[in-house]
Amino acid sequence: MSEPALPPKPPSASRTARRSWSIGLLLVAAMLIAFADAINRWRSAVPANRLPPARPLARMTLADGRILIVEGVTFGTRHRMGPRSDFFERFGNWIPQPLRDQFAPRIPESKFQTKQPALVVWVEAVDPATGTNMDCQGIRLEFANRRGDLFGAGDSHWFGGAGFWRMGHVFYSFPRDEEKLTFCATPWRTNQTQRCILENPHRSTAVTWAGGSLPQARKAGGLEIFLAGLEARTNELAKQPWITPCRYWEPRWVLSQNGKPAVGWTKPEWIAEDPVGNRGQHLGIHQPVLRFSVTVFPDATNANAVNLIATSPPVSLPLANDIWWHATFSSGTKGNCLMGICPPGTRVFSGGNLTRSLPVVMGVAGGAPSGWTLRSQRTSPVTVTEWHNHYSDKVTIYVHSDGAVGPERFAVRLRDSEGRLWVATPEPQGHRGDIHIHAFLVDVGPEVTNFVAELVSLKPVQAQFLVRTPPVTP
């Protein structure tokens, strides 16, 4: 007797899942192919470097023939312009090049941060004959207020790519109290200015200050600081075509100690603030009241005013190889140390640690003999690794700090076996704040063959003055 036929077994869950994944992948692939075909047809009609920005704020035909396009204006500390693609930003390095070429934004995103709130004007340039994007450098940009004061860009960030260039010009001072901003563009080669009107994205109202007359005096840290007067000046660097000829009030400072002229102190560093919130030196000459903040640091060799915090082992010159001490100072934490001394060359740091040491000075072609460069790369979908390169044509001492924010500064002085002192030069491009590394350049004569490096802390003397400005003469 025959057995009844068994019903067919249902497909296993794993086989069903595999079949569903296969169908899903085929559908996704078909959609990508169709989308890529549409993108290709659109791109064949519009060349990549002729894609206009969406709704530019202004277009100006400059005297050198270029058309300057104002893409946008941002205010704050985090600035970005252009279409953003989180997907390509995080996963672009792991997408096959053909797909990346097909789907990556044709106009790239640009972004950077400022340490304090600032206004950023984003511009690009176009060739009027071909409509193609072109380099937008070589243009002086500034704002003019209704009283004729000029406010120049404090910094600029250039972004370049395949057939596309953009710049973000940073303004820490501008006519904050005006609803409409007069924006001026002057090519370096022509010295002819074009203007346009932009909306003020961060308008502020002037506060009421009651300033005092001059002269004024303040006592602080054993010093007496006099603000003896104000003199109307024009930016001394304005003879260069890229520098805005700003007019401003320059204070005249006098330092005394125990009734005598103070010695062993550096030149006073000052900054002004106006009632609408601008901070800087070039704030115009028409504000009735200004607040001046002054900071005076002791010389590194001023034994009565500096604090010795670390001393290196003896060093012999000439220096042939890197010497790393990693001598901790202050509280003894790992974050604070006198790192070491290196001959001319390039040192690469990442995360505050040395990763490579090269005997070749790998700086910017035609640039300064020493300085910092930065390279970054996304090493995972959630991680971006940065490499900070310091290059120098001189022997260099490196210091790592814990990043604590405060008014004090570091200095390095060099003491030879005879007790003579020299001061190492702080890197002119400043320290690398992101990784808290300070570079000091050793520039001594050939007669110096040995020394110890002494790291000292410079505690400043600070004071503020609220003053009425002199009447402006025509």
Q: Exposed, middle or buried, 281 (CB in 10 Å: 0-12/13-18/19+)?
A: middle
Q: What whole-number distance in Å separates Cα of residue 56 and Cα of residue 82?
A: 11
Q: Which part of the chain is CATH 2.60.40?
A: 58-199
pLDDT tens figures, 263-304: 999 999 999 999 999 999 999 999 999 999 999 999 999 988
Per-residue pLDDT of the chain (474 residues; tens, 9 = 90+): 444 444 444 445 555 555 555 555 545 544 554 454 444 444 433 343 334 445 789 999 999 999 999 999 999 999 998 876 665 565 666 566 666 655 555 667 888 899 899 999 999 999 999 988 888 999 999 999 999 999 999 888 888 766 788 999 999 999 999 999 999 999 999 889 999 999 999 999 999 999 999 999 999 988 999 999 999 999 876 678 889 999 999 999 999 999 999 999 999 999 999 999 999 999 999 999 999 999 999 999 998 899 898 899 999 999 999 999 987 766 445 567 899 999 999 999 988 889 988 888 877 666 789 999 888 777 777 687 888 999 999 999 999 987 766 788 889 999 999 999 999 999 988 887 777 899 999 999 999 999 999 999 899 999 999 999 999 876
Task: Give me the CATH code for the 58-199 domain, please.
Answer: 2.60.40
Residue of 299, 288, 303 lying closest to 461 (CA atoms)? 299
Q: Which residues pair with 385 in a beta bridge?
A: 377
Q: What whole-number distance in Å separates Cα of residue 4 and Cα of residue 7?
A: 9
pTM: 0.78
Ramachandran quadrant class, 76 (left: phi over 0; alpha: psi -120 to 50; beta: rest): left
Find all residues with CB under 8 Å of 210, minimum gap 6, and list them. 289, 466
| Strand, helix or coil for residue 188 | coil
Provide the total of helices (H) and of strands (E) in the chain, helices listed first: 3, 32
Q: What whole-number distance in Å separates Cα of residue 89 and Cα of residue 208?
A: 47
C-beta atoms surrounding 80 within 10 Å = 15
In this structure, which amino acid lies at residue 338?
L
Q: Which two tokens stand for residue 348?
A: 């690469």
Query: What does the pLDDT read at residue 474?
Result: 64
